[in-house]
Amino acid sequence: MKGLFRIGTLGSRIYTVFIVFIFGTIFIMQIVSFQFTVTTVRNSMIASNRTLLSQLTRQIDSYIEDMENLSLAIIEESGSQDVLRSEYAVSLNDHRALIQEQIGRYLKARDDILNIYFTDLSGTIFSADAAVQINPWSDVTESPWFVSALENPDRTIISGSYVQNLIVGEYSWVTSLSRGILSSDTEEPLGVLLVDLKFDSIQELCQSMVTGRRGYNFILDENGDYVYHPTQQLVYSGVKDEPVQQLLEIAQQDEQNMFTDGQHYYFVNTSSMTGWHVVSVLFRDDMITDWTYVQITYAAIGLILFLIVGLATNRITRGITSPVKRLQGIMKSVDTGDFHLVGQIDATDEIRELAHDYDIMVTRIRELMVENVKEQELKRKSDLKALQAQINPHFLYNTLDSIIWMGEMRQHKEVVLMTSALSKLMRISISKGRELISVRDEIDHVRSYLTIEEMRYRNKYDSHIDIDPGIGDEHILKITLQPLVENAIYHGIKEVDHKGLIEITGRREAKVLIFTVSDNGRGMSPETVEKLNTLREEPDDEADRASGQGMGVRNVHARIRLYFGESYGLHCESTPGVGTTITVRIPSSEAIR
Amino acid sequence: MKNWLVLLLSLMAALVLFFFLTIFYQQTVPNHIKLDQPIQFVMKSSEVVPMEFWGIAERGIQEAAKEYGVTVELSGPRFEKEIDQQIIILEEVIEQRPPLIVLVAADYVRLVDSVKKAESYGIPVVTFDSGIDSSIPVSFIATDNIAAGEKAGREMLRLLEGRERQKIAIVSHIREAATAIDREKGVRQAIDATQIIGTWYCDVEEDKAYEITLGLLDDPTLGGIVALNEVASLGAARAVADRQLQDTIQVVAFDNAVRELTFLEAGVIDATVVQRPYNMGYMAVKIAVDYLSGKPVPEFHDTGSVLITRENMFQREYQELLYPFRNSP
């Protein structure tokens, strides 16, 4: 898991992309749809509020219309014209009972009518309800309903709401309909009919048809004066303020009958019957009452989406990274030199193919490695053979040369001796193709060689061989000592005037066999010794090979190391004018075992 | 990634989402205070019949409560003079640990201890209509009664101009209530002390005011009576009407009971100083809510008073003040 969050890993990239982009997308989506929900709800609220408002207006209209029809009917039926036309003083008493009975029917039938009055032109009031006492201080001739009704005798005058004070001790809120009563003959006005409607009906309508907890309706007349407002006192005392001017302006337009000041939505509908502007106020925060619920719902949907995406991301990422990681783990074995196969893994096709190709590669590498080992072995053997082969012609040529020379001198005895020594030498050299021979045989080989060389360089040197008899059965690489002796003769003793001495020793030290070949010849400069000791490591150095110096020595060294390993080989010590000692170290049979 | 980490991350993302939506919501909608408990109103009389004033004030309270989205609970003694009863009720209300108490003090002095107790519990107190002798209440919402009394006094002087009888009597409702004290003070500010023959107390009983006034009317120099509340006004007006002295005696009243208005129409009462109980109740809630929302509130809010005479009593702007809509559903 830790690894997944390292920048640059496959997992971290996938997670980054998924979380940033998909979570971001969900986020934006949720916010946008939340916004959309809000807008939708708001719009539908606005629409329903509009409907409600026009319904309210229609109801008010139809209510007023009803009342207008009623007032017309009253004028027709009640015989009020007759009453008013005749001498008032007479008719009042004659007809009072009759008219009161007739109009009283309407009063009883309609709860919402407070009272019905007649007045004559002088302002004398005649109430339909006989029981009430007319307020002596009220003056109807100045009342707007009276004046307007007489000015417009063919129309029903609808007043706004006001307090009616026509009856003593009673102050009721009314909306009144007034109509001039015309003489049926002369069309002259005779008086005014006043129908007082309890304002409660309209108030109730306005209060019942509201949207939201705090929404309310109010009514303005054509001039922008309040007909009804649920909190009139606040409005009149300036605590509350309604945008009356704006409302009147938008009431003129047909389409756009709504405006908002941010917190409130105002809807206006103008009643054709009364000319009133019915205003509905909707509070913005009433539109969705349970905001927290909506928020929680959206957050919960978000959570579910986040979870689905998150878990899916997990699955996908694991599907990609875990086989890759497994693959990676297996491939890591290459570091340590092991080549493991991946084999069958549970992963996508791509990964499986990758694993398959990797397996093919590893198999191939394994084959190549095996081949390589074989080739190395082969090469080593052929190198060894080649090195051994290098000895023979050189020496053979010299020896045969000597034999020929002795033959010509008719020294038959020497020829026989030399030839038999050579024959022995050859036999050991070949030794049935084995590479290892016994120390005893190797010493015989050196002796044969010394025999030959002594005959060639008569009295030039003495040789002394001191081999621990206990190591006679140990094995040594064949032709190990002879080239060293050869080197001592050709590069040591041959160059000095005094009689030379070649000493050959052999002993066992711990698990190592140590042989030395020393001479008292010319010796070598420290540079040459140094060169010989270091160059031994690189037996194929061309420059050195050309000089011929130490070529045999290096051959031996190379062969020992090829055969026994790097920790064995030769070491050369020499003092110019004193002599040279070359030490050979090879493992004893105990060490090999 | 472990599954629990996905869960954690998703939860975090969802929370952030909720947070974002909340921010959006906050931008859309003004924050309303949420109260676990209703704001407690301790009134001074729960009987609406003798004093329509409180019925209208309550409508203002309810309207504001609806508008500001808070609940209110009203309690109080039946009658204004039951001061002990109001103290008991206030103590009970304090025990409920409401977020705020709105108090209409029936006594200027005796409720101070209880208000101190409320303060010690950390319950803010707002007074309205009649305050107490303490600086503890965070706000006082009332008619500026001194100004109202002065208005009444000046009107009385105007009415008495050019008349023969110049002496003025004051009929007050109760001795120790702040409203009575302030109104009288206001009247006396407007009128020269030599012109005032005295102040009489009717103890919020109409009949007592009636008797007092009948006694006063025997004084041949008396030209005007200033009655300082509804009950006193009705008693005084009734006495003047019964003696048929409406043309001789000028009555300046307080408040707007229906019967007072009839007297006003009939010319018995010549002017009345009307308070705005609806606004008072409304503002009491508004200021209480403002205070609870941490907004600054004024120490004193004057809801104002209006002088009503026969001439302006049917003007549109005063109609609802004088003749309130009946309580409708």
CATH number, residue B201: 3.40.50.2300
- Through-space distance between the first and last CA atoms of chain A, rounded to whole angstroms: 52
pLDDT tens-digit map of A86-113: 555 455 556 667 777 777 777 778 888 8
User: Which pLDDT score, from 0 to 100, does residue B329 have?
Assistant: 32
pLDDT tens-digit map of A479-508: 888 888 888 888 888 878 888 889 999 998
For residue B193, tell me if it sits in a domain: yes
ipTM above 0.90, yes or no: no
Contacts of B10 in chain A (CB under 8 A): 303, 306-307, 310
Percentage above 90 pLDDT, chain A: 3
Q: Say if CB A582 and CB A560 are below 8 A apart.
A: no
Give which of B12, B15, B18, B269 to mutate to test A binding, by max A Cβ within 10 Å: B18
Minimum Cα–Cα distance from B315: chain A residue: A162
Contacts of B22 in chain A (CB under 8 A): 295
3-state SS string for B263-290 = HHHHCCCCEEEEECHHHHHHHHHHHHHH
What is the DSSP track for A229-257?
-TTHHHHHTTSS---HHHHHHHHH-SS--
Sheet containing strand B250-254, edge to edge, reads B196-201, B167-172, B222-227, B250-254, B271-275, B305-309
For A18, which DSSP code? Answer: I
pLDDT tens-digit map of A387-419: 666 555 767 787 888 888 888 888 888 889 888
Q: Residue B135 is which amino acid? A: S
Q: Examine the domain organization and report whether B228 and B111 are in the same domain.
A: no
User: Average pLDDT of A249-259?
Assistant: 77
Q: Examine the domain organization and report whether B125 and B53 are in the same domain.
A: yes
- Side-chain-side CA neighbours of A193 within 13 Å: the count stands at 31
Contacts of B67 in chain A (CB under 8 A): 214
For residue B11, tell me if it sits in a domain: no
* Residue-averaged pLDDT of chain B: 86
Q: Examine the domain organization and report whether B92 and B236 are in the same domain.
A: no
Q: Say if CB B328 and CB A204 are below 8 A apart.
A: yes
For residue B327, tell me if it sits in a domain: no
User: Which pLDDT score, from 0 to 100, does residue B26 have?
Assistant: 61
- Side-chain-side CA neighbours of A516 within 13 Å: the count stands at 16
Alpha-carbon gap, residue A32 to A29, rounded angstroms: 5
Q: Examine the domain organization and report whether B207 and B283 are in the same domain.
A: no
Q: Assign A261 to helix, strand or coil.
A: coil
User: Average pLDDT of B92-103?
Assistant: 91
CB contact under 8 Å between B262 and A285, yes or no, is: no
Tokens of A486: 């050869």
Give chain B's count of helices (H) and strands (E): 11, 12
The count of residues in chain B is: 329
What is the total count of domains within chain B? Answer: 2
Minimum Cα–Cα distance from B313: chain A residue: A163
Alpha-carbon gap, residue A9 to A23, rounded angstroms: 20
User: Average pLDDT of B20-30?
Assistant: 65
* Spatial CB neighbours of A555, under 8 Å, sequence gap ≥ 6: A387, A390, A391, A483, A539
The verdict on A547 touching B (C-beta cutoff 8 Å) is no
Contacts with B, A 294-323, CB within 8 Å: 295-296, 298-300, 302-303, 306-307, 310-311, 313-314, 317
* Spatial CB neighbours of A426, under 8 Å, sequence gap ≥ 6: none
Contacts of A165 in chain B (CB under 8 A): 265, 314
Alpha-carbon gap, residue B229 to B167, rounded angstroms: 20
Give which of A1, A174, A225, A233 to mutate to test B binding, by max B Cβ within 10 Å: A233
Q: Examine the domain organization and report whether B157 and B180 are in the same domain.
A: yes
Alpha-carbon gap, residue A74 to A102, rounded angstroms: 9
Chains A, B: CB pairs < 8 Å: 145
CB contact under 8 Å between A298 and B6, yes or no, is: no
CA distances from A102 to A74, A128, A177, A183, B263 (A): 9, 9, 19, 20, 34
For B106, which DSSP code? Answer: S
Q: Say if CB B277 and CB B56 are below 8 A apart.
A: yes
Contacts of B1 in chain A (CB under 8 A): 1, 4, 11, 15, 313-314, 317
Percentage above 90 pLDDT, chain B: 39
Q: Say if CB B304 and CB B277 are below 8 A apart.
A: no
Q: Examine the domain organization and report whether B167 and B98 are in the same domain.
A: no
CA distances from B160 to B200, B222, B249 (A): 20, 11, 9
pLDDT tens-digit map of A186-230: 777 878 888 888 888 888 888 888 877 788 889 988 888 888 888
Q: Residue B9 is nearest to which of A230, A231, A310, comparing CB atoms? A: A310
For residue B326, tell me if it sits in a domain: no
User: Average pLDDT of A147-169?
Assistant: 83
For residue B196, tell me if it sits in a domain: yes
CB contact under 8 Å between B262 and A169, yes or no, is: yes
Minimum Cα–Cα distance from B12: chain A residue: A303
Beta-ladder partners of B222: B167
Minimum Cα–Cα distance from B319: chain A residue: A163
Q: Examine the domain organization and report whether B245 and B283 are in the same domain.
A: no
User: Average pLDDT of B257-276?
Assistant: 89
Residue B272 predicted with pLDDT over 90 = yes
Alpha-carbon gap, residue B111 to B131, rounded angstroms: 10
User: Average pLDDT of B17-23?
Assistant: 78
User: Average pLDDT of B262-288?
Assistant: 91
> Closest Cα to residue B75, out of B27, B99, B43, B110?
B43
> Closest Cα to residue A307, out of B13, B18, B1?
B13
| Crossing angle of helices B112-120 and B83-95, rounded to 10° | 0
Q: Examine the domain organization and report whether B96 and B135 are in the same domain.
A: yes
Alpha-carbon gap, residue A265 to A227, rounded angstroms: 20
Q: Say if CB B42 and CB B89 are below 8 A apart.
A: yes
User: Which pLDDT score, from 0 to 100, does residue A545 have?
Assistant: 44
Tokens of A328: 């990676």
The verdict on A35 touching B (C-beta cutoff 8 Å) is yes
User: Which pLDDT score, from 0 to 100, does residue A81 have?
Assistant: 64
Q: Residue A310 is nearest to which of B10, B16, B326, comparing CB atoms? A: B10
Tokens of B3: 């599954």
pLDDT tens-digit map of A316-342: 887 778 877 877 887 787 777 777 777
Alpha-carbon gap, residue B276 to B256, rounded angstroms: 10
Full residue range of the structural domain in which residue B101 is found: 39-143+277-298
Q: Residue B63 is nearest to which of A231, A302, A311, comparing CB atoms? A: A231
The count of residues in chain A is: 593
> Using alpha carbons only, how large is chain A's radius of gyration in Å?
67
Q: Examine the domain organization and report whether B81 and B171 are in the same domain.
A: no
Q: Assign B39 to helix, strand or coil.
A: strand
Contacts of A200 in chain B (CB under 8 A): 326, 328
Tokens of B188: 């006396």
CA–CA min distance A331, chain B (Å):
23
Burial bucket for residue A440 (CB in 10 Å: 0-12, 13-18, 19+)? middle
> Closest Cα to residue B10, out of A322, A38, A30, A290?
A30
Confidence class of residue B12 from pLDDT cuts 50, 70 and 90? confident
The verdict on A203 touching B (C-beta cutoff 8 Å) is yes
Minimum Cα–Cα distance from A216: chain B residue: B67
User: Which pLDDT score, from 0 to 100, does residue A1 have?
Assistant: 42
Contacts with B, A 98-157, CB within 8 Å: 135, 137-138
Minimum Cα–Cα distance from A229: chain B residue: B320
CB contact under 8 Å between B9 and A306, yes or no, is: yes
User: Which pLDDT score, from 0 to 100, does residue A75 have?
Assistant: 79
Beta strands B167-172; B222-227: pairing state = parallel
For residue B67, tell me if it sits in a domain: yes
User: Which pLDDT score, from 0 to 100, does residue A410 have?
Assistant: 85
User: Which pLDDT score, from 0 to 100, does residue B270 have?
Assistant: 93
User: Average pLDDT of B243-254?
Assistant: 90
Contacts of B283 in chain A (CB under 8 A): 239
Q: Assign B76 to helix, strand or coil.
A: coil
Q: Say if CB B271 and CB B242 are below 8 A apart.
A: no
Contacts of B279 in chain A (CB under 8 A): 233-234, 237, 239
Residue A543 predicted with pLDDT over 60 = no
Q: How many CB atoms lie within 10 A of CB A19?
A: 18
> Using alpha carbons only, how large is chain B's radius of gyration in Å?
24
Alpha-carbon gap, residue A132 to A115, rounded angstroms: 10
* Residue-averaged pLDDT of chain A: 80
CA–CA min distance B263, chain A (Å):
9
Alpha-carbon gap, residue A410 to B202, rounded angstroms: 184
Contacts of A137 in chain B (CB under 8 A): 265-267
**b/e burial code for range A57-74 (CB count within 10 A of at least 16 → b):** bbbbbebbeebbebbeeb
Helix (H) or strand (E) holding A172: strand A172-182
Residue A536 predicted with pLDDT over 60 = no
Percentage above 70 pLDDT, chain A: 89
For A288, which DSSP code? Answer: S
Tokens of A330: 């297996």
User: Which pLDDT score, from 0 to 100, does residue A593 have?
Assistant: 59
Q: How many CB atoms lie within 10 A of CB A42?
A: 17
Q: Say if CB B115 and CB B129 are below 8 A apart.
A: no
Contacts of B282 in chain A (CB under 8 A): 231, 234, 239
Burial bucket for residue A460 (CB in 10 Å: 0-12, 13-18, 19+)? middle
Q: Examine the domain organization and report whether B161 and B115 are in the same domain.
A: no
Alpha helix (H) ranges present in A431-568? 439-456, 481-491, 526-535, 542-547, 551-564
Minimum Cα–Cα distance from B57: chain A residue: A233
- Displacement of CA A304 from its chain's centroid (Å): 18
Contacts of B9 in chain A (CB under 8 A): 19, 306, 310
Sheet containing strand A113-120, edge to edge, reads A125-127, A113-120, A189-198, A172-182, A156-164
Q: Say if CB A531 and CB A553 are below 8 A apart.
A: no
Contacts of A306 in chain B (CB under 8 A): 9-10, 13-14
* Spatial CB neighbours of A534, under 8 Å, sequence gap ≥ 6: none
Contacts of B303 in chain A (CB under 8 A): 237
Minimum Cα–Cα distance from A208: chain B residue: B329
Minimum Cα–Cα distance from B281: chain A residue: A234
CB contact under 8 Å between A311 and B3, yes or no, is: yes
Q: Examine the domain organization and report whether B248 and B210 are in the same domain.
A: yes
Alpha-carbon gap, residue A429 to A385, rounded angstroms: 12
Q: Examine the domain organization and report whether B175 and B262 are in the same domain.
A: yes
For residue B192, tell me if it sits in a domain: yes
Beta-ladder partners of A585: A514, A569
| Crossing angle of helices B178-190 and B145-160, rounded to 10° | 40
Tokens of B45: 């009389």
Contacts of B321 in chain A (CB under 8 A): 233, 236
Helix (H) or strand (E) holding B322: helix B316-322
User: Which pLDDT score, from 0 to 100, does residue A429 have?
Assistant: 76
Alpha-carbon gap, residue B43 to B105, rounded angstroms: 7
For residue B5, tell me if it sits in a domain: no
Confidence class of residue A427 from pLDDT cuts 50, 70 and 90? confident
Contacts of B16 in chain A (CB under 8 A): 27
Beta-ladder partners of A191: A120, A181
Q: Where is the domain boundary, B274, B289, B310?
A: B274
Q: Which domains does chain A have, with CATH numbers?
A: 47-286 (3.30.450.20), 374-592 (3.30.565.10)
Minimum Cα–Cα distance from B305: chain A residue: A237
Residue B29 predicted with pLDDT over 60 = no
CB contact under 8 Å between B6 and A171, yes or no, is: no
Minimum Cα–Cα distance from A14: chain B residue: B1
CB contact under 8 Å between B279 and A237, yes or no, is: yes
